[in-house]
A and B are shown apart, each in its own frame.
Chain A
C-alpha cells in the first residue's frame, strides 16, 4: 500500500518550453504533497508543500512563477516548470502523506528533466 507514482519518468525539452510533471497517490488520499529537487550527487531540497484545494507554500528561494504547483484533488498534484532553461535540469521527486496514515511520507520514483 501507499504507492506514489510520477509521470513522466524522464523528459527532454527545448529551452523556453513548459513541462508538466504529475504526481499521483494510487491507493490513499494525499492530503499533503511535497515537491523536491535533487541535483546530481546532492541531497533532496524541498521546493514546496501543497495541501489539497489550497495554494502551495514555497520554500525560500523557489520562484513560484517558475514552478507552478497545483493540488486539485486528493490523489493528484502537478508541477509545471514554465519557460524551462538548462539550469532547471534536475531530478524532481514528489512525496505524499495522508493524515490518516500519520506523518510518514511516501515518495514517487522521480522525474528526470533535461532542458536543452
Chain B
C-alpha cells in the first residue's frame, strides 16, 4: 500500500522561528490534508491541498503532486503551535492514510 513519510519526527523551536515540515508519499493520491493535533487530541484541519500552494496566516502549504511531496511552512512560531502535525493522503479507494507525524515543541 501507499507509504506516507513525514520529517522531521521531532522538532524544537524557539518562539519566533520559522520551520518547514515535509511529507513524502509513495504513489499518486486523490488529495492531501495537513492537520494539527492539539494536546487534547482534537485534529484541526489546516489545509486541504492536493496540489499547489495555499496560505492561511502564518501557515502555508505546498504540494507538488508530480513529485509526491508536500511541505508545511510555519512562520514566526508561537507556543500555541506546539503539538503534532500530521499529513494524510487519500488513495484512489478513498482511504485516508496518515503519516507518523511531526512533534513540534515551541519554547517561549
CB neighbours of B99 from chain A (8 A): 43
B residues 53-108 touching A (CB-CB < 8 Å): 86, 88, 90, 94-101, 103
Q: Please state if B33 and A105 are interface contacts (CB–CB under 8 Å).
A: yes
Kindly state the interface size class of chain A when it binds its partner. Answer: 20 to 34
The tally of residues in B whose CB lies under 8 Å from a CB in A reads 22
Tell me which of A44, A45, A109 contacts B42 (CB under 8 A): A109
Interface of B is mostly: strand
Instruction: State in angstroms the CA–CA spacing of A77 and B86 once bound together.
Output: 24
Known: A44-B98, A46-B97, A105-B33. A112 touches B41 (CB 8 A): yes
In the bound assembly, the distance between CA atoms of A110 and B86 in angstroms comes to 16
Cα distance, A105 to B31, chains bound together (Å) = 11
A81 on the B face (CB < 8 A): no
Is there contact, CB below 8 Å, between A107 and B31? no
Are A104 and B33 in touch, CB under 8 angstroms?
yes
Are the C-beta atoms of B95 and A49 separated by less than 8 Å? yes
Q: Once the chains are docked, how many angstroms separate the CA of A74 from the CA of B80?
A: 35
Q: Does B2 have its Cβ within 8 Å of any Cβ on chain A?
A: no
Residues of A within 8 Å of B97, CB to CB, are 46
Residues 84-104 of chain A, each 1 if its beta carbon lies under 8 Å from chain B, else 0: 000000010101000000011
Flag A24-64 by CB within 8 Å of B: 1 or 0 each. 00000000101010100111111001000000000000000
What 0/1 pattern do residues 34 to 52 of B give for CB contact below 8 A with A?
Answer: 0100001111010010000
Given known contacts A95-B96, A103-B90, what 4 new A-B pairs fall within 8 Å (CB)? A36-B98, A43-B99, A43-B101, A112-B41
